């Protein structure tokens, strides 16, 4: 790993993926980016299968990329990364922000710069997601097993896809998000590869993206892709003895949650698809990475 740039010299970019159906929310997000303290952040907005509205925010340089079809979340974000040069090399850190979120504080960019400058092993920072009306953070938005206190920052083993910052050296070293996942678990795939390469991940409660509270099951493909991608995640990244353990644990957890019959059918369809279809290149993590994940509180079997 190369030494990081000092905070004052660290250049930030931002990738925003949108389907063009939330122009008001998108503008509010971009305005919150423009208000960040420190050097201005260059933004790339990717239209995922839809044309983009005119985008102009005072004080903000915005580049746009319009894709002819919806390629999914990870592939769309990878397009945004490459807009900053191969592996995002034109900037030091990239922020990934949901198009219906708003940065709650003006110092988030400066906090990012300081965090990455202070810790050369830090590869990814996950933000806290808070409801804009109540300020509450859902347990599922705290990326650790002990999620009862969302205001506690900590080292973690994964992060949230629409509210994070990634050192671009991570992309250049381990590659981008897995395009074929389309939706669900692509962040954990990148997180495991980054951890295996020696990088660390922090959850920062003081870096906040306000985002409406919505259930993930609102997406029609949710149950199928969650199941399929969990199998792909294991097949791509885990040592062979852990693959059946990880997938078996999630099978039992899914049954214990007693989903509806249509949801369960979709889940089992995705589970079968995960075993029967190509998962991409297999690069099993080292056993010492398994131990690191375990020490961080989340062994890669759950």
Q: Convert the pLDDT of each residue in 177-219 to its tens digit.
A: 999 999 999 999 999 999 999 999 999 999 999 999 877 655 5
Within a domain: residue 231?
Answer: yes
Tell me the pLDDT of the chain averaged across its residues.
Answer: 95
Average pLDDT of span 143-153: 93
Residue 218, pLDDT score:
52
- State which residues form the domain around 148: 7-214
User: CA-to-CA distance for 185 and 194, rounded, in angstroms?
Assistant: 14
Reading the block at residue 86, the tokens are: 């191969």
Same domain, 285 and 189: no
Within a domain: residue 268?
Answer: yes
Same domain, 174 and 55: yes
Same domain, 183 and 231: no
The pTM for the full model equals 0.95
Does pLDDT of 4 surpass 80? no
User: CA-to-CA distance for 11 and 95, rounded, in angstroms?
Assistant: 11
Within a domain: residue 301?
Answer: no
For the segment 107-118, what is each residue's pLDDT rounded down to a tens digit?
999 999 999 999
Number of compact structural domains in the chain? 2
For the segment 31-48, what is each residue's pLDDT rounded down to a tens digit?
999 999 999 999 999 999
Q: Are 153 and 206 in contact (CB under 8 A)?
A: yes
Q: How confident is the model at residue 288 (pLDDT cuts 50, 70, 90)?
A: very high
Write down which residue in 168, 186, 214 finishes a domain.
Answer: 214
């Amino acid at each position: 790993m190369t030494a990081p740039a000092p905070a004052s010299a660290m250049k930030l970019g931002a990738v925003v993926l949108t389907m063009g159906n939330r122009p008001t929310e998108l503008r509010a997000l971009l305005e919150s980016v423009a208000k960040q303290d420190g050097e201005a952040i260059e933004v790339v907005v990717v239209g995922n299968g839809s044309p983009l509205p005119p985008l102009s925010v005072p004080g903000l340089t915005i580049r746009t990329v319009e894709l002819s079809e919806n390629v999914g979340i990870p592939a769309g974000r990878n397009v945004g990364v490459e807009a900053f040069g191969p592996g995002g090399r034109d900037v030091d850190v990239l922020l990934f922000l949901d198009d219906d979120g708003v940065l709650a504080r003006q110092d988030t960019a400066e906090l990012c710069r300081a965090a990455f400058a202070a810790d050369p092993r830090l590869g990814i920072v996950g933000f806290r997601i808070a409801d804009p009306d109540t300020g509450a953070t859902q347990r599922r938005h705290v990326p650790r097993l002990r999620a009862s206190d969302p205001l506690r920052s900590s080292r973690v083993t994964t992060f949230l896809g629409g509210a994070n910052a990634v050192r671009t050296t991570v992309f250049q070293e381990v590659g981008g998000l897995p395009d074929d996942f389309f939706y669900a678990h692509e962040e954990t795939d990148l997180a495991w590869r980054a951890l295996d390469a020696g990088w660390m991940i922090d959850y920062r409660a003081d870096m906040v993206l306000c985002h409406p509270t919505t259930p993930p099951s609102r997406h029609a493909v949710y149950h199928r892709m969650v199941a399929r991608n969990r199998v792909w995640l294991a097949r791509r990244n885990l040592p062979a003895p852990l693959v059946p353990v990880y997938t078996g644990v999630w099978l039992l957890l899914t049954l214990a949650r007693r989903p509806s019959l249509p949801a369960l059918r979709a889940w089992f369809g995705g589970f079968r698809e995960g075993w029967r279809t190509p998962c991409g290149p297999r690069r099993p993590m080292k056993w010492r990475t398994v131990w690191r994940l375990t020490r961080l509180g989340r062994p890669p079997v759950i």
